[in-house]
Amino acid sequence: MNYYHLECAFIDDEASFSFDQDVKKIVSTIELGIKYYDIPPIVRVDQVYKQRAMSDVLKAIGFIPHRRVVDEFLKQYISGIQFIPVTVDVDGVQYDEYSFMNVFNTYSLLNEKASGASDFNVFRNAYNSIRKMAFCKDKLSKVTIRHDAFRVKEFPREIVITQKVKDILDANQVTGLICIPVEVK
């Protein structure tokens, strides 16, 4: 099985976004789990920048895919993601076609040495920094990965996906992110 971690890829003139202050915990990786909101959280374009273009997956610390991406994931039974509807505000124009990707399942897979993991945070029980994502072959052999999208317990900032998800992203020419292969050592 091949695994990939997701990274941002901005299209030409793409805007950057931020969540309103009252829902900043939506992007927290300290307390992973299912999240619930009575009304859709608001994501606003960062006013510091002039850019206003919007890709298929917006960036606001986490990933915010468009409905067409979410619908395809649901149609293909992609597991491990809770989609939280959000309202995207671009200079007063509101879009309701986006959802925040809440990926809350974790597996202990990091190869600390091969990843160049550093600055271990005792409170978070995770590393603050890695040079690249690499899995430990021994850890991977002892775990059954049951989700198509997940986080690595030792470095939960990154989202990891399976080949199935990458194939869907490629087939649908999804813009706004890239899939970086994860090494297994």
Q: How many CB atoms lie within 10 A of CB 72?
A: 16
Handedness of CA 113, 114, 120, 126 (dihedral sign): negative
What predicted TM-score, i.e. pTM, was given to this entire model?
0.90
Q: What are the boundaries of each domain within the chain?
A: 12-102, 106-184
User: Which residues neighbour 59 within 8 Å (Cβ) at sequence distance 6 or greater?
Assistant: 8, 10, 14, 16, 17, 176
Residues 53-105 pLDDT 10s? 899 999 877 899 999 999 999 999 999 999 999 999 999 999 999 999 999 99
Residue type, 112: E
pLDDT values of the chain reduced to their tens digit, one per residue, 185 residues: 899 999 999 999 998 888 876 666 676 666 677 887 878 888 888 877 677 889 999 987 789 999 999 999 999 999 999 999 999 999 999 999 999 999 999 999 999 999 999 999 998 899 999 999 999 999 999 999 999 999 999 999 999 999 999 999 999 999 999 999 999 99
Q: How many CB atoms lie within 10 A of CB 48?
A: 7
Both tokens of residue 16? 């950057």
Would you give the end-to-end CA distance of the chain in angstroms?
14
